[in-house]
Structure 1
Amino acid sequence: MSGQPVDAVVDLPGVSAWQWVPGPERPTLLVAPEAPSTAGRTTAGAEQTFVDGATAAGDAAVAGADLSSLPQLSRLLDEVALLAMARVLHRARLFRDGAKHDTGQVLDVLRVAPRHAWIVRRWLSTLVIEERLRYDPSTGHHHDLVAPDRVGYARARRELDEARRGLGYPPSMTRFFVATAERLPALLRDEAGVQELLFPDGSTDTAEGNYRDNLPSRWVNHAAAALIAGGTHSSGGPLRILEVGAGIGATTRPVLNALAGTELDYLFTDVSRFFLTSARTLLGDRPGLRFGLFDINRPPLGPEFTPGYRDVILAANVLHNARHVGRALAALRELLSPDGLLVLVESCHEHYQALTSMYLLMSPSAEEQRWFTDVRSGQDRVFLSPAEWVDQLDAAGFDPLPVLPGNGHPLADAGQRVIAGRVRSNLARPDPVLVEATLAARLPPSDRPERIHAVDRVMSAPTTVPMGEPR
């Protein structure tokens, strides 16, 4: 499609607002009714009861751990990352002897692959915030890098293992963080891949340390499991759960344990067959558990994805990969029953350590022409804040539940949060079938949307910045 056919979507039946969302092939159309009032929405008493139970389950999972030391330990991880960033710049002879460079020059000297350019931009802004680098907005030049000395870097690496132990990571995580720090120039040039370091010889031990074994992950995984177990469903049959982006099953296992004795129809999905093979080995003997492929950035197709069928959808550490969160949430809501529950586990706080390791897994693919097209567009960021997630759930047609752990909890600042919502079923939305029929009379097939999703409201997004463009 050469452009968005604005005239064709005017006066669509029941539609007062709409948004074209770019897709891998053709765009998706989001349509909304008159903006509903959000005043007075509260969590019902029954909902609050199992929200409190989820908090208790998370606390029990980390009982005995010294949570008061977590901010200091997290800062140790971040310090190693800051030194690693500065070390890459210094060893490339950038900013030496008073030299000044703009962002484009830094990217050129490091020979950064366009898809990873956003990471180096984040390095520069982070080093400025931390007063390790200076920036002149009048010229766009960076200068006066605080170069790490060998003694300080070696000390920080030793402290990294102390932080790793205190946060509950396995020893493999120290090796992973050190390995990525040492290979950063090659990783940025796409001459090496983080996957080989995260899954050495096909082992998932390091990934399990990142998503399961550490204290923040342990808390949210068990809280999410309790939230699902404490919810109700009215189908009269098995509890019908769809897990998307299930990965190594770090959240799956606590959920299955919490639902022991419950009849299940549990579809474990991921975009990669690698994880499905691993999961079959770890989880395959549970009655009612099945496995399949699912990509959150493509329309869910096939009998396993019948609209209105699922009681619960679980998405742990995956939905931030959606190129447009609103579109992904709308598609998931359509798969849920009228009282269905969506449970997300998401990182809502950026740790500098991720900028030198896990973020390299989150860059767009080399062939993608654009990256995020939602509220993150052009902002060089992956994660949403808790408030943004709540707003996105509300716009997509969910009644959000309180974000866990709540503000003031010792683990709130660790960043991992459980974000959940019930399907809002008391609002009249546009009928996608009727909208599709109307557009069929107005547009040729090539200009029609690939999918039409009804939402409660559409949310504007900044202009998309092409990947690799210096800013």
Structure 2
Amino acid sequence: MDLNEITAAVRQHPDIDDALVTTAISPHSGEEELLVYAVPSGSAQRWGRLVETATACLVEGMAEQREALRTWRDFWDALDEISVLVMARTLAQLGAFRTPEQPVSVDSLMQRCAVAPDHEPLFRQWMHVLADNKILRSGPGPDEYACSDTLSATELDEQVEKRMAALVVDGVERVFTDYFVSSAAQQVDLLRGEASPLPLLFPDGDPTLAETFYARNPISVVLNGVLAETVAKAVELGPTDRPVRILEIGAGTGATSTTVLSRLPAERTRYCFTDVSQYFTDHAKQRFAEHTFVDYAVLDLNNHPGDQGFAPESFDVIIAANVIHTARRIDHALERLRPLLTPSGLLVAIERTANTPVQMVTVGFLEGFSYYEDQRKESNLPLLSPAGWVTTLQEGGFHRIATLPQGAAATTELAEHVILAERSADDPPVARRVKLHSDLAMLLPDPNASFHILPVEQIPRRPDGLVDERSLPSPWDEA
């Protein structure tokens, strides 16, 4: 094993500015083990501080909102169960599955129930959910379903009403319950395309309901706080010779903007608030008039930003709260967004990462949940998993990626993630995600060999230029 050759190779890693590879005898095993002393690159240090900030804020936010999160989770789980009954009731109202045990194809059902073609993906999601909940049975054909008993609209309506009456709701739960009840009552017209879902979310054009929901539910409170603190840290670590330029896409009602803008220094920031609808940008101009460092523009993710007045490498940070999934093709949206970032620029997103029955009877009727033309067609689900986001971002030229929270318990509790992604400084995009430990393992004669990575501020050297190994920390030193 040539340690000098390994050291030279380690120094080529994009996360490392300087390195020293040596060996030492482990006091525990008595075996010789490899030690990699590494001086993190400037971008790696910045990334580490951003992830550290996001993680600390998430832990603190979840602790502060623990009871509210638990209440919200129980509330959402109860609505999920009710949503399954709402789907079944809607099919009964449409006259589906009148003959027990008779298989019917999805195409035949859509024709019989006059389902709008635009809602075919959503209708197929319903079939899967109802089969998973044993209300329907899939088969015998690959696209067929049957029901053991005739669906009774009256009986199902009674079950829905009973479950709704048992809900304990207050505050933001009440706001969402009202929206849920309105949506549930119009499922037939929504499914047939005879009613628009937008007036339900924006009654009489008023954004208050949507704004209250997206700003005040405890998951949004926690994750908007994480996003805001991370962006504020990015500004702190950003260039000092000019303002840090921030673009928010799909800003909508401004629920996330409100939290972010309150944490940004006006003299250090230039913020561009955008949405696909001028209605929201006009509303934001009035709402955020006191923030003189904010500009406003219309931006559609499904079209090229250059054709909409946005120049390449004109932003240091891009914010996207529950919006990237609304693009017809997420991969194309990322291909359009990435060039807008400066090299090593930061994308900070919030994305719901669980597809639920509640979604399928409420916002599922909105265009962004049905018009996907990318890899989601294979699963017929509009929301990507955390792993799906990592892969898609990696393929889109982002080489450092973090999804928070991590771990099954936290993921289940939130069902949403903050996603951090750093644009690669390279063009064309990097082929894979940067993972320091596995990258270094591949440099060793034995990739399975045990080794330690120890970050240091600098490699200590004696006056004669040689490495002062006595000043290097030990991986076994408890201090």
TM range (shorter): 0.7 to 0.9
Could you say if the C-alpha distance between residues 109 and 184 of structure 1 is closer, same or farther in structure 2, counting changes exceeding 3 Å? same
Alignment of 1:137-286 (within 5 A): 137-138=140-141, 140-144=143-147, 147=151, 148-160=155-167, 162=168, 164-165=169-170, 169-231=172-234, 232-234=237-239, 236-286=241-291
Is the deviation greater in 92-101 or in 251-260?
92-101
Report the CA distance between 1:290 and its aligned residue.
0.9
CA distance in 1, matches of 2:108, 2:198: 28
* Structure 2 CA distance for partners of 1:150 and 1:330, relative to 1, 3 Å: closer
Per-residue deviation at 1:348?
0.7
Deviates most, 253-262 or 62-71: 62-71
CA distance in 2, matches of 1:410, 1:388: 18
Equivalent pair of 2:319/2:349 in contact (CA under 8 Å): yes
2:363/2:369 contact within 8 Å kept: no
8 A contact 2:215–2:256 mirrored in 1: yes
The structural deviation recorded for 1:299 is: 0.4
1:121 to 105, 114, 124: 124
Aligned ranges for residues 8-27 of structure 1 at < 5 Å? none
1:170–1:213 Cα contact (<8 Å) kept: no
Matched residue SS, 1:96: coil
Contact preservation (8 Å) 1:263, 1:288: no
Q: Paired residue for 1:17?
A: none
| Structure with higher RCO (Cα < 8 A, 6+ apart) | 1
Aligned to 1:75: 77
**2: CA distance, partners of 1:152 / 1:39:** 59
Is 1:105 matched up with 2:112? no
Cα separation, partners in 2 of 1:304 and 1:65, compared to 1, 3 Å? same
Q: In structure 1, what is the Cα distance between the partners aligned to 2:369 and 2:422?
A: 31
Match of 1:190, SS state, is: coil
- Counterparts of residues 48-447 of structure 1 (less than 5 Å): 48-61=48-61, 63-66=64-67, 67-98=69-100, 99-138=102-141, 140-144=143-147, 147=151, 148-160=155-167, 162=168, 164-165=169-170, 169-231=172-234, 232-234=237-239, 236-301=241-306, 304-362=309-367, 371-408=371-408, 410=410, 412-425=412-425, 427-429=426-428
Which amino acid letter does the alignment assign opposite residue 373 of structure 1?
A: E
Q: Over residues 9-57 of structure 1, what are the superposed CA-to-partner deviations in whole Å (9 max), with x where a residue is unaligned?
A: xxxxxxxxxxxxxxxxxxxxxxxxxxxx999999945423332322333
The one-letter code matched in structure 2 to 1:175 is: D
Residues 208-262 of structure 1 show CA distances to partners (whole Å, capped at 9, x for unaligned) of: 2332211111111111111111122226211100111111111111111121455
Letter of the structure 2 residue corresponding to residue 254 of structure 1 = T
Cα shift at 1:138: 3.4
| Displacement after TM superposition at 1:304 (Å) | 5.0
Cα distance change of structure 1 residues 313 and 135 upon mapping to structure 2, 3 Å threshold: same
Q: Percent of pairs identical after alignment?
A: 30
Structure 1 residue identity aligned to 2:156 = D
Q: Contact (CA 8 Å) 2:65, 2:222: kept in 1 or not?
A: no
State the distance in 2 between where 1:235 and 1:327 align. Answer: 32
Q: TM-score, normalised by structure 2?
A: 0.75
Alpha-carbon spacing, 1:350–1:39, altered in 2? closer, same or farther (3 Å) = farther
Shift of 1:70: 4.6
Provide structure 1 residue ranges, at least 5 long, that are not aligned to the other structure.
1-36, 366-370, 430-454, 459-471
The 3 A distance-change label for structure 1 pair 90 and 308 is same
Count the aligned residue pairs. 387
Secondary structure of 1:295's match? coil
Separation in 2, partners of 1:397, 1:235: 26
2:28 corresponds to which residue? none
AA matched with 1:361: L
1:343 touches 1:419 (CA, 8 Å); kept in 2?
yes
How far does residue 183 in structure 1 lie from its aligned partner after superposition? 0.4
Stretches of structure 2 lacking an aligned partner (at least 5 in a row):
1-11, 17-39, 433-479
The answer as to whether partners of 1:345 and 1:419 remain within 8 angstroms in 2 is yes
Residues 75/233 of structure 1: CA separation in 2 closer, same or farther (3 Å cut) = same
- Secondary structure of 1:242's counterpart equals strand
Tell me the distance in 1 between the aligned counterparts of 2:427 and 2:280.
39
| Partner Cα distance (1:235, 1:323) in 2 | 37
2:327–2:368: 8 Å Cα contact kept in structure 1?
no
The alpha carbon displacement at 1:415 in A equals 1.7
- What is residue 35 of structure 2 aligned with on the other side? none
SS in structure 1 of the partner of residue 379 of structure 2 = coil
Flag the 1:248–1:58 CA change in 2: closer, same or farther, 3 A. farther
SS of equivalent to 1:138: coil
The one-letter code sitting in structure 1 at the alignment partner of 2:229 is A
- TM-score, L = length of structure 1: 0.76
Aligned residue identity for 1:72: D
Deviation of residue 59 (structure 1)?
4.5
Q: Deviations over 1:339-373 (max 9, x none)?
A: 211111111111210100101003589xxxxx433
User: Kindly tell me: are residues 198 and 303 of structure 1, through their superposed partners in 2, closer, same or farther at Cα, counting changes over 3 Å?
Assistant: closer
SS in 2 for 1:402: strand
CA distance in 1, matches of 2:241, 2:340: 18
Closer/same/farther in 2, CA of residues 375 and 457 from structure 1, 3 Å limit: farther
1:340–1:422 Cα contact (<8 Å) kept: yes
| 3-state SS, counterpart of residue 149 of structure 1 | helix
Distance 2:406 2:173 in 1: 27
Instruction: Quote the offset at 1:107 in angstroms.
Output: 0.7
Paired residues of 1:243 and 1:314 also in contact (CA < 8 A)? yes
The DSSP-based 3-state class of the residue aligned with 1:258 is coil
